[in-house]
A and B are shown apart, each in its own frame.
Chain A
Amino acid sequence: MADGVLFEFLHMEMVSHVFKDQQSTNGEMNNKDRAVCTSVLEGMGFRVGQGLIERFTRDSPSFKDELDIMKFICKDFWTQVFRRQVDNLRTNHQGTYVLQDNKFVLLTQLSSGKQYLDDAPKYLAYSCGVIRGALSSLGLDSVVTAEVSLMPSCKFQVVIQKL
C-alpha cells in the first residue's frame, strides 16, 4: 500500500520532466509548448482516472443522476484520491459544476507566494485529467479546467458535454 507522499513526489517530478523535455527540444518555452505539456499531463491523468473508477465502483450501487455522480466525485472519490473532500460544490443545474478545494494536496508543497501562481496550472493539469477520466468511466463526457487565485485553494470547473 503505497504512501500518499510517494504520489505527490512522483507527480511533481512528472510535471518537471514533461516541461523540461519540451523545453530542451525547442530551446525555450512558448504558449504552444506549454499547451503541449499540459495536454500530455492531462492525457496521463485521464487514463488513470478511468482506471481508478474501474476499481472503486465494482461494489457500489449505480447513481441516480448527474448530480449524484458529482457528489460522489466530491466526497468518496476526492477523499480516496486527494485525501480530503471538496469544500464547496456549486452548479447551475445545466451541466456546469465548480468544485472548490481549499487545500489542494498537490499545491500544498508549493510555496504560497504570488510567484507560484503562474506555475500552478502546471500542477493541476494531471488532476484535471484524472477527474475527466473518472467521469468518463461513469458515463459522463466532460471538459475539466482548473484555476488558482489563492494558493493552495483551487477551483475545478467541470462542464458536462451533452451528446
Chain B
Amino acid sequence: MLMFCCCLLQNSELFTLTYGALVTQLCKDYENDEEVNKQLDKMGYNIGVRLIEDFLARSSVGRCQDFRETADVIAKVAFKMYLGITPSVTNWSPAGDEFSLILENNPLVDFVELPDNHSTLIYSNLLCGVLRGALEMVQMAVDVRFAQDTLRGDNVTEIRMKFIKRIEENLPAGDDQEERKMVFY
C-alpha cells in the first residue's frame, strides 16, 4: 500500500516537473506573459479534446442533464481522477450558467514561485484549455479562466467556468475520423 502511494507521488512529480519545464521553455520562447498564457491555453485545448475520450472510457459517467451536473462531474470525478484533488463548486450565477471551482491547493504549483518579471503569467493556464477542449467534445462551448491564483498572492485558486452555448453535433466526414484515429492511436 505504501509503495503504491509512493508511485502515485512520483507520477505527480513527473507531471508537475514536466509542466514546470514547459512553462519555463515557453517563457524563453515568447516575449511576453500574454503570449505564453495563450500558448498554454492552446496546448491545453489540444490535450482536452483527447483527454475527454480517456475520461469517458474510464469513468462510468453518462450524459449530464444540466450544467450543475457537469460542474459536479468535473470537480468530483475528473479532477479527482487526474489530479487527485476535489475542488469545491461554488458561486453559482443566478442564471445557473456560471460557477467557480475553488482549489485549496493546486498540484501544478508545488515548489513553484513566479519570478518578479512574470506578474501577468497565468502559470496553470493549461487547465483552462483542457477544460474548454474537453467540454467542446461533449457539445458544450464554455469560457474558462482563472479568477484567483495562489501563485499571485491570492488565498485560493479559483477557476471560473461559464456556459456559452450548446454546440450542434457535427458528424465528421468519414476520412477525417480515420485520420484522427491514426494520429492518436
A-B interface pairs (CB < 8 A), number:
92
In the complex, B56 has a CB within 8 A of chain A: no
Task: Give per-residue flags for B4-32: 1 if the beta carbon is below 8 A from chain A beta carbons, else 0.
Answer: 00111111111111111110110001000
Contact-residue bracket for chain A: 20 to 34
A40 to chain B, nearest CB (A): 7
In the complex, B84 has a CB within 8 A of chain A: yes
* Interchain CB contact under 8 A, B84 and A80: no
Is the contact region of chain B dominated by helix, strand, or loop, or is it mixed?
A: helix
Is the contact region of chain A dominated by helix, strand, or loop, or is it mixed?
A: helix
- 10 more A-B contacts (CB under 8 A) besides A11-B18, A55-B10? A1-B8, A2-B82, A4-B11, A7-B15, A13-B43, A17-B43, A44-B21, A44-B24, A109-B185, A111-B185
Q: How many residues of B contact A (CB 8 A)?
A: 36
Interface stretch among A46-54, A63-71, A89-97?
Answer: A46-54
Q: Check A55/B13 contact, CB under 8 A, given A5-B82, A109-B184.
A: yes
In the complex, B109 has a CB within 8 A of chain A: no
Residues of B within 8 A of A14 (CB): 18, 22, 43
Q: Check A6/B10 contact, CB under 8 A, given A14-B22, A40-B25, A111-B182.
A: no
* Interchain CB contact under 8 A, A48 and B17: yes
How far is B182's CA from A14's CA once the two chains are assembled, in angstroms?
19
B40 to chain A, nearest CB (A): 10
In the complex, A149 has a CB within 8 A of chain B: no
Chain B residue with the shortest CB-CB distance to A18: B25
In the complex, A28 has a CB within 8 A of chain B: no
